[in-house]
Structures are given as structure tokens and as C-alpha cells.
Chains A and B, each alone.
Chain A
Amino acid sequence: NAGVTQTPKFQVLKTGQSMTLQCAQDMNHEYMSWYRQDPGMGLRLIHYSVGAGITDQGEVPNGYNVSRSTTEDFPLRLLSAAPSQTSVYFCASSPLAGPSYEQYFGPGTRLTVT
């Protein structure tokens, strides 16, 4: 199993550009989520999904869209990039939606918005 994969590893955008961060998992996990990591703030939840076709907002959803058309994929879209979205983005998955289940994290995408 490849686990949770994320592409690209690095990305530089100009303010106002849009892009999609890709996330895929091959473990048949129902639950997937996106976090952003900023220095001194830990990780904050952006959006999550409890299954194909079902998504919901997390703590910091503004400026981001998600969709979940398949179990495997959970892309994160930046509609109009802003410097405040400069961050490291992590995708995670777990077998089911439940606090006792371990979440598996991808290697991250480092995004810089200039």
C-alpha cells in the first residue's frame, strides 16, 4: 500500500491564481480530511469527508473548496490564492469516522503564495 499520497510536494502561486492540491489513499478509508500547518499554531482542520459525496467544513474553511466523488480521492481547491494561504497542507485518512481510529497523514504539500 502506498498509504496517503499528496501532489505536488511544493507549489508557488501568485495572488489570485487557483489550483488543486491532490490527495489519494489506497486503504479504502471512509474518512478523509485536510489540515493546514502554520508555525506555532499546530494543525487546523480545513474540510473533512465521512464518505463519497459527503463533505463538511472544519475550523478554517474560507477560501477552500473540496469534493469527494470517490472513496480514494479528496482534492482541495484554492479558488483565489492569497498570501495568508501560505502554509503546509496535510491530507489524512482513517478507516471510519470515529475518535478512536488512527488517522494516517500524507507527506504534505508546501504552498507559497506571493
Chain B
Amino acid sequence: AQSVTQLGSHVSVSEGALVLLRCNYSSSVPPYLFWYVQYPNQGLQLLLKYTTGATLVKGINGFEAEFKKSETSFHLTKPSAHMSDAAEYFCAASWTSGSRLTFGEGTQLTVNP
């Protein structure tokens, strides 16, 4: 079955440090890939998406992600963490011609001062 896995349910970094959130998908067919962020008591907001073309995708708030087909991965990075980045991050994939999203389990990012 096609699935999305996020390694690490909790990630803690210091302010100014590199943020790396991991996402892998399981399928021989590459999907469309998304990263969403959820701030406390809010809905999900799209950070970035990969559909076709350039494999390095830049998103909002300084985040970027690279699609690596050989590794079936779509890891999210940010060079320097800010306190305002503390939130839950979800990786999601779509394999269908419709809009059905398959989500990973989520990663809670904590940024320490």
C-alpha cells in the first residue's frame, strides 16, 4: 500500500540551528508531495509542494525541500530556525488524478532559545 512516513514524531533544535524534518514515501510510482504546517489550535497551511520539474522546491518562511526519487524522500529543511517555527509539520502525498492526500504521522518541532 502507498504510504508516507515521517521519521521522528518530535524534533528539538536551538534557535539559529538547521531544521531537518524527514519524509519518505513508499511506492514505485512517484507522487505529488506536500509539506503542511499546523500552528497550535489552527488548521493546516501549505508550506511547499512538488509536482513536476525542479526537484528543489522553495516554500514560505524560508523552508525548502528536495525530492529525491532514488531515495523516495522529500525532506524539509530550513538553514536557521526561528522561535516562530515551532509547530507541527505534516508531509503528504497524492498518487491519484484527484486530490486525495495521504498524510504522514506528523513531526512536532520545538525551537529552544
User: Measuring CB to CB, which residues of chain A are less than 8 angstroms from any residue of chain B?
Assistant: 4, 31, 33, 35, 40-45, 48, 50, 58, 90, 92, 94, 97-103, 105-108
Q: State A35–B102 Cα separation when bound (angstroms).
A: 10
B98 touches A99 (CB 8 A): yes
CB distance from B6 to the nearest CB of A (A): 8
Kindly list 16 other residue pairs between chains A and B, CB separation below 8 angstroms, not including A33-B99, A45-B100, A108-B43. Answer: A4-B43, A40-B106, A42-B106, A48-B99, A90-B43, A90-B44, A94-B99, A97-B97, A97-B98, A99-B31, A99-B95, A99-B98, A100-B49, A102-B49, A107-B41, A107-B43
| Chain B interface residue count, Cβ-Cβ cutoff 8 angstroms | 28
B101 CB contacts on chain A under 8 angstroms: 43, 45, 103
Q: State A102–B59 Cα separation when bound (angstroms).
A: 13
Q: Number of contacts between A and B (CB, 8 Å)?
A: 70
> For window 47-85 of chain B, which residues contact chain A by CB distance below 8 Å?
49, 51
Q: State A108–B32 Cα separation when bound (angstroms).
A: 25
5 contacts between A and B (CB under 8 A): A31-B98, A33-B99, A42-B6, A48-B100, A105-B44
A98 CB contacts on chain B under 8 angstroms: 97-99
Q: State A11–B9 Cα separation when bound (angstroms).
A: 27
A103 CB contacts on chain B under 8 angstroms: 46, 99, 101
